[in-house]
Amino acid sequence: MATTNPIGGVFWRMVAAELRKLLSRPSGVVMLVISALLPILVFGLAKLVEGGGVNMNANGQPVASLFSLDGPKLLGYMLTARNFFVLPLFLVMVSAQLVAEERANFTLRALLALPNARWRVLLAKYTALLTLAAISIVGSLGVGGPLCFLFVDGPQTLVAWQGVALGWVASLASDAGLIALTLLISTFSSSVAGVLVGVILGLMADLAIRGLLQIAGMLKLFPTDQLAALMPGRALAAWEGYADGWDPWAFLGLGLLTLGCLAVATFRFQREDVL
């Protein structure tokens, strides 16, 4: 008796169909456009500050006199801009649209009624979203990389370039965790707004808990550094390690967050009502 490969041609056609959905929606297109435009904005602002075009002072001194720019540093600024609020927000939005919005308009019900394992449907959606995130990163690097290489002078070492390149790779891992978290919350909601609120409230609660852990650590009640690094908010920021040293605990937390959210989301997805 022939067996069916769970990750075969049918699965990849499902992924392609989900990706087409994402690219047919304004939110998906705008996300990619912003990804390409942000490096240009960061480049222009950095050159403006470096040249003294922005009249800003720090401790009584012009910022331009304290501001040194080289290629790796500028590429790091672009990475920070890419991961600061706007693009993660779009990633949450498009992720919610593939589950919560489709539940609201009954598209999900029709999809789950087809003869496909539900976990494959969810995995196809997850893979399509991760592909969109990868396209976003490649788009930002495709615009920002040449700007940094060709138009920025200053001390540049191979180690510095490698460090910031790893930051961009780690950014995809952080996106994977955020997508998994959003899909989990989407299994509890039938609206994109509800998912957005759920993600924001969850991360706010995470921030409060990490604050309490920091206080406990200062009071030496018990060791909290590793526990705080495992929390979702810190784990999702694991990519920041390119600048100040990688934290293996944050990546462990990111792996646990991603796998845990996908496992629970799959469990709930299996019980989705299609009647």
Asked if residue 275 is part of any domain, the answer here is no
Identify the pLDDT of residue 55: 57
| Number of CB atoms found within 10 A of residue 112's CB | 18
* Helix (H) or strand (E) segment spanning residue 61: strand 61-62
Q: Tell me which DSSP letter residue 155 carries.
A: -
Asked if residue 2 is part of any domain, the answer here is no
Token pair listed for 108: 């999900």
Asked if residue 5 is part of any domain, the answer here is no
pLDDT digits (tens, 9 = 90+) for 239-267: 999 988 899 999 999 999 999 999 999 99
- Under the banding of pLDDT at 50, 70 and 90, the label for residue 71 is confident
pLDDT digits (tens, 9 = 90+) for 172-217: 999 999 999 999 999 998 899 999 999 999 999 988 988 888 887 7
Asked if residue 1 is part of any domain, the answer here is no
pLDDT digits (tens, 9 = 90+) for 5-35: 556 678 899 999 999 999 999 999 999 999 9
Q: Which residue carries 């009640």 as its tokens?
A: 221
For every residue of 1-57, DSSP letters joined together read -----TTSHHHHHHHHHHHHHHHHSHHHHHHHHHHHHHHHHHHHHHHHHHTT-S--E
Torsion sign (Cα): 262, 264, 270, 273: negative
d(CA 193, CA 48): 37
**Chain-centroid distance, C-alpha 185:** 16
Number of compact structural domains in the chain: 1
d(CA 231, CA 204): 12
In degrees and rounded to multiples of 5, residue 189 shows phi and psi of: -135, 160
Identify the pLDDT of residue 67: 58
Specify whether the CB–CB gap between 202 and 186 falls below 8 A.
no
Identify the pLDDT of residue 1: 40
Asked if residue 155 is part of any domain, the answer here is yes
d(CA 152, CA 78): 13
Asked whether residue 2 carries a pLDDT value surpassing 50, the answer given is: no
Specify whether the CB–CB gap between 136 and 110 falls below 8 A.
no
Q: Which of 232, 229, 130 is nearest to 181 (CA)?
A: 232
pLDDT digits (tens, 9 = 90+) for 106-148: 888 888 877 788 899 999 999 999 999 999 999 999 999 888 8
Q: Which residue carries 């100040």 as its tokens?
A: 244
Q: Which residue carries 């009624």 as its tokens?
A: 113
Q: Which of 120, 90, 105 is nearest to 29 (CA)?
A: 90
Identify the pLDDT of residue 258: 97
Identify the pLDDT of residue 273: 72
Beta strand 61-62 with 57-58 is: antiparallel
- Under the banding of pLDDT at 50, 70 and 90, the label for residue 152 is confident
d(CA 135, CA 129): 10
Asked if residue 3 is part of any domain, the answer here is no
- Under the banding of pLDDT at 50, 70 and 90, the label for residue 275 is low
- Under the banding of pLDDT at 50, 70 and 90, the label for residue 153 is low
Question: Structural domain of residue 29, as residue ranges?
Answer: 11-270
Asked if residue 63 is part of any domain, the answer here is yes
d(CA 168, CA 140): 10
pTM: 0.89
Mean pLDDT of the region 143-171: 83
Mean pLDDT of the region 228-239: 89
| Higher-pLDDT residue of 260, 49 | 260
Asked if residue 6 is part of any domain, the answer here is no
d(CA 187, CA 24): 23
Identify the pLDDT of residue 106: 83
pLDDT digits (tens, 9 = 90+) for 79-101: 999 999 899 999 999 999 999 98
